[in-house]
Structure formats: structure tokens, C-alpha cells
Amino acid sequence: MKIYDVIVVGAGIAGCSSAYFLKKKGLDVLVLDRSGIAASGGSSAAGAFVSPKIGKGSKLQTLTNEAFEFAKDFYREHFPQYFKQTGVIRIPKDGSDAKNFDEYEKSNSSSRELMETEQLKALGIDDSFKSFLFDEAGICDAPGMCQALIENIPYEQYEVRSLNYKKDLWLIGEHRTKKLILATGYENKFVDMRYMGVKGTWGTRGDYETNIKLDVSMHKQISVSANIDGIVKIGATHEKGVDVCIRCNGEPLEGIFGTAGSMVDTSDFKLKETFCGMRSGSKDYFPLVGSVIDVYEMLEQHPKLPKGVRLKEAPMKIENLYVCNGLGGRGFVFGPLMGKMLADNIVEGKEVDARVNPDRLFLKWCRKSPDLESYRV
């Protein structure tokens, strides 16, 4: 029976990026997904915009823009057929947001141009606020990109029902592997990873057929793509606490389509297809990349952790188990850099960036999670 170096469970952008960089480092990799490549979850519904994050210089903005610079260069060099550098115009949400743009300007080093109202109108955008054009930004063909990333990697559509670790190998049905990566998005039914706080946020996107001349993509509360081959993507809904796509019957995109109509002329738009999926995000909105803490063993050996006792050593880990998760609504921005970080860690032992290492969340979870009330008695 074949033994792989790594099996990746999940064929969204997180899993496919991880598999790509591991394969590049010479490892024998298999990718498994119950639905198909970018066929469910956040990657299936993604408009796959690749653009910087604007703001006043937060740590999350800094990381996001590092990932953006890496991603757009990576896509452009290796997969240009699935990445269209349309540019992305970031439009203020309202007058208050417009006043902040002067501050945002100081905290963003990505290539950009300030667009006046007249310039926006010349592009077919009806808005009265000055805006930023990030000319190197663009959009991915989400399923095309994910498929290209694992083109030379074995893939199976397979539903993982259980995991077992015996004699230094992970057993997944009839599959065997030395190391295992879970890139399963908002769902986790295999090991205790509650400390990571992964939650799902529902997103809906519509693809519209149109003859409108629109050469640039834009974002103002929602995202509207450039016209590529007669299709404009409209999306970026964020709904929490939704388990099923209850809005796909009838008119799921009514609200965001109305918002899009205030930005561009949508009079000839005809809905071609609706996409729905659940994005995964962490408690602090940073990605989750690295090994997994053995929660059971930690609480057994350190029963005072929920009472605030500090650890004097590194937390115990589940052997040869890793995650690449929590990329949120910017999966195609974070995917390549997070996949490379994880591959560097697994193959070369390079330490994972502390900003995305899941260990950062463990002690706080121990002290504050209602899941552990019984340990505080």
C-alpha cells in the first residue's frame, strides 16, 4: 500500500496552495476533498479578488498586504491565465470613510493612484468620492486556479470519515501518510481544535451576463469585477450563523445587486449563476498555519491552565498533524504565502510566523472559554 509523505484534506485555495509548495519541495503529496476542487466552502463562492487591505497600519493590514504582494507576483509568474490584473478601485463606503482615506494613504505602500470623480465616471463608475486604484490588483478564476495548483498532484474526491494515527502513520480509510494537513475550512469533526475558534461566514456571489464596458474591478462594501468574457461577478456578502444556502431559492442577490447598481450601470445584467459557500475565519481574523496542540493531553498534564497558570514550556502537539485554515474573505490573497510558510515549516523546519501560528490562541482559550468551565472548579 502506497505511503504518502503528506496528505492534504481540503481542495480549496488553502489546501491547494499547501500541496503546491510541498510538491515543489519534492514531497509525495495526495489531495482529498469530499466535494471536488474548489467545489464547496469559501473557495467555491469566492469572487477571488486579489487586492491590498486599506487602513491605518494595523498588524492584520500589514500581514494582508505582505500576502498580497506575494500572491500577485506568484500568480502573475506561474498562473497568468487564471489571474487577470484588472486593477481594483477601492471606493469609500460613505462620507466618513472618505475622510479616512487621507490616513489610509500613509499606511499603504502598494502601487496605487488616487482617482478623481471625473476619472471614475470615464471608467463607467458612478461615485462622488475620490478613490484608490490599485493597478496591480485583480481577480482569479477560483476553480481554475485551484485546479492549476494541483495539476501534477494526485487528487481524489473522497469523504474523510475518520482519522487514526498508528505506528507513525496517519490512516485515512485505505490511504496512508507520514504527515497530514487539514485545510477543511469552517468544519472540523476530527480533532479538538476549539481553541482556534474557527467560525463560518456565509457568502453569496452572482455571475451576470452583460455587454457593459467595464475594464476595472471595484469594491465598495461589495465587490464588482471587471467584465471578463461577458461576465461580471458581484458578491462579498457576510452572513454569520447560516448553515445552509437558504437564500438560493428566489432572489438571493437582491440586496447586493441593488448596491452594485449604485456604482455601475446594471440595466442589461442577466443573472447566469449563483454561488454560495462558507468562509472560515479565526477568532482574531489572522490565518491559522502550523501544527496542532494536543488539547486533551495539555489539560490532563496541566489541569491549572484554565485557572490562569502560565506554561513554562512549549505546548504538546499532535504528532505530524498540521492546519492551513482561517483565511477568511481573502483566501486568494493569503493562500500562496500561507501555503509556502507551511511547506517551509514541514520540510525545512522553518518556524511559522508568530502572527499566524495557532498556538497564539491556546492560553487565552483555556482561561476564557465556556467550554472549560468544569476545569475551573
- Find the range with the poorest average confidence among 71-75, 156-160, 169-173, 185-189: 185-189
- pLDDT grade for 369, boundaries at 50, 70 and 90: confident
* pLDDT tens, position by position, 267-314: 999 999 888 888 899 989 999 999 999 999 999 999 889 888 888 888
β-strand 231-235 against 169-172: which pairing, if any?
Answer: unpaired
Average pLDDT over all residues of the chain: 89
pLDDT tens track for 103-119: 787 788 888 888 888 88
Q: Are 48 and 86 in contact (CB under 8 A)?
A: no
Higher pLDDT, 52 or 40: 52
pLDDT at res. 3: 97
> Which pLDDT score, from 0 to 100, does residue 236 have?
67
Region 154-163: what's the mean pLDDT? 94
Q: Give the model's pLDDT for residue 291.
A: 98
Of the candidates 213, 250, 206, the one whose C-alpha atom is nearest the C-alpha of residue 228 is 213
pLDDT tens digit sequence for 8-41: 999 999 999 999 999 999 999 999 999 899 987 7
User: Cβ contacts of residue 191 below 8 Å, gap of 6+?
Assistant: 163, 182, 292, 318, 321
**pLDDT reported for residue 216:** 94
Is the pLDDT assigned to residue 85 strictly greater than 60? yes
In the chain, where are the structural domains located? 3-41+144-198+283-376, 202-277
Query: Residue by residue, what is the 3-state secondary structure of the chain?
Result: CCEEEEEEECCCHHHHHHHHHHHHCCCCEEEEECCCCCCCHHHHHCCCEECCCCCCCCHHHHHHHHHHHHHHHHHHHHCHHHEECCCEEECCCCHHHHHHHHHHHHCCCCCCEEECHHHHHHCCCCCCCCEEEECCCEEECHHHHHHHHCCCCCEEECCCCCCEEECCEEEECCEEEEEEEECCCCCCCCCCCHHHCCEEEEEEEEEEECCCCCCCEEEECEEECCCECCEEEEECCCEECCCCCCCCCCCCCHHHHHHHHCCCCCCCCEEEEEEEEEEEECCCCCCEEEEEECHHHHHHHCCCHHHCCCCCCCCCEEEEEEEEECEHHHHHHHHHHHHHHHHHHHHHCCCCCCCCCHHHHHHHHHHHCHHHHHHHC
- Percent pLDDT > 90 in the chain is 63
Placement of cell 510541498 in the chain: 22
Res. 176: pLDDT tops 80: yes
Supply 31's cell numbers.
489531495
Q: Is 60 exceeded by the pLDDT of residue 375?
A: no
Tens of pLDDT along 194-241?
A: 999 998 888 888 999 999 999 999 998 889 999 999 999 998 666 665
Does the pLDDT value for residue 354 go beyond 50? yes
Q: Is the pLDDT of residue 376 over 50?
A: no
pLDDT, residue 252, reads 57
Q: Which CATH architecture has domain 3-41+144-198+283-376?
A: 3-Layer(bba) Sandwich (3.50)
Q: How many CA atoms lie within 13 A of 325 on its CB side?
A: 30
pLDDT at residue 377 in the model: 38
Higher per-residue pLDDT: 34 or 99? 34
pLDDT, mean of residues 42-71: 91
